[in-house]
Structure 1
Amino acid sequence: MQTVVWILRFVIVVVLVWFAVKNAQVVTIHGLPDQSWQAPFVFILLVVFIAGMVIGLLAWVPTVVRQRREIARMRKTGQPAVTIAPPTPEPPHGI
């Protein structure tokens, strides 16, 4: 299984390198008036991807902090976790 994972990682890296080589053109990003930046297309994609990941993680952090705080409070008070009973199956139609 480890071999399959390493082969998959290698294939992904090769595809990413191929994509970077094929998209090495310089693009111009126009921001504020009279401001523009030039950078390789792959660099722009990488920056946007990383910015999206950071925004996603920042949106996720409050939920994790709240859940950890609740778990710590429940452990401190000795309160058991709430268990949800599985739904009872309905009889087949017509019976």
Structure 2
Amino acid sequence: MKVLAWLLRAAFFLLIFALALNNTAPVVVHGLFGTQWQGPLALVLLVVLLLGVLLGMAVMTPLWWRARRQARRDSASPAASTPPATGAAHATDWPDAV
């Protein structure tokens, strides 16, 4: 099964690599205030992908920190290690048997 997974990964990599080799035409990216950047299409796409990943991680980092802090706080509290006390069931808690 691991061999099949590695073969699929290798095929995916080769496909992406072939697409990058076929898309080497120069493109111009126009920025703010008249700035321009020229480079191969594959490189521009790679840079944009990396910037998107970094931006997504930057947006998610406070949420991850908050979740880790909450998990650490929950595991450190003594109430989390003991199961909640259950009271005796009342007769009104059970559905009527017909």
TM-score exceeds 0.5: yes
In the alignment, the residues of structure 2 paired with residue 40 and residue 49 of structure 1 have an alpha-carbon distance, to the nearest angstrom, of 14
In the alignment, the residues of structure 1 paired with residue 26 and residue 5 of structure 2 have an alpha-carbon distance, to the nearest angstrom, of 34
Match of 1:67 in 2: 67
Match of 2:56 in 1: 56
In the alignment, the residues of structure 1 paired with residue 72 and residue 35 of structure 2 have an alpha-carbon distance, to the nearest angstrom, of 50
**RMSD, aligned α-carbons:** 1.5
TM-score by length of structure 2 reads: 0.74
> Could you say what secondary structure the match of 1:24 adopts?
coil
Q: Percent identical across equivalent pairs?
A: 30
Match of 2:3 in 1: 3
Match of 1:38 in 2: 38
In the alignment, the residues of structure 1 paired with residue 28 and residue 72 of structure 2 have an alpha-carbon distance, to the nearest angstrom, of 50
Amino acid in structure 1 at the alignment position of 2:38: Q
Match of 1:90 in 2: none
Match of 1:24 in 2: 24
Give 1:42 shift.
0.3
* Larger Rg belongs to: 2
Give 1:33 shift.
3.6
Unaligned runs of 5+ in 2: 82-98
The aligned length equals: 81
TM-score by length of structure 1 reads: 0.76
> Could you say what secondary structure the match of 1:79 adopts?
helix
Amino acid in structure 2 at the alignment position of 1:11: A
Give 1:17 shift.
1.1
Q: Deviations over 1:34-88 (max 9, x none)?
A: 421110000000000011111111111111111111111122222329xxxxxxx
- The structure richer in helix per residue is 2
